[in-house]
Amino acid sequence: MSQMELLNIKREDSLLVIDAREAIQKGHHPRYEILNLVEEAPTGTLCEIHVPHRTGPLIGALEGLGLNVAVAEIEPFHYRLRVMKF
């Protein structure tokens, strides 16, 4: 099973939701798959990425793409990263 298959991905209009919690909890590191999905999203898309902990390398990689990242702790072991593609 590829890391992409471990991600729960939902697309609706201008919203892309990537839930990587299960993949990360199983020991996978789908950073590059997440970055590719965000990069491929059309301009004007709000991207939400759900992870089990504050993921500094992923946040840094998203910021490296020129995106501003808003981080919120939803509950213990559930963080949401939001970026808007401009």
3-state secondary structure the chain: CCHHHHCEEEEECCEEEEECHHHHHCCCCCHHHHHHHHHHCCCCCEEEEEECCCCHHHHHHHHHCCCCCEEEEEECCEEEEEEECC
Q: Output the tens digit of pLDDT for each of the chain's 86 residues.
A: 566 788 999 999 999 999 999 999 999 999 999 999 999 999 999 999 999 999 999 999 999 999 999 999 999 999 999 999 98
Report pTM: 0.93
**Residue 36, pLDDT score:** 97
**Residue 41, pLDDT score:** 97
CATH of domain 3-84: 3.30.110
Rounded Cα distance between 15 and 3, Å, is 21
**Residue 5, pLDDT score:** 81
Among the listed residues 34, 39, 64, the one whose alpha carbon sits nearest the alpha carbon of residue 50: 34
In the numeric block, which tokens belong to residue 55? 């993921």
Locate the domains of the chain by residue range: 3-84
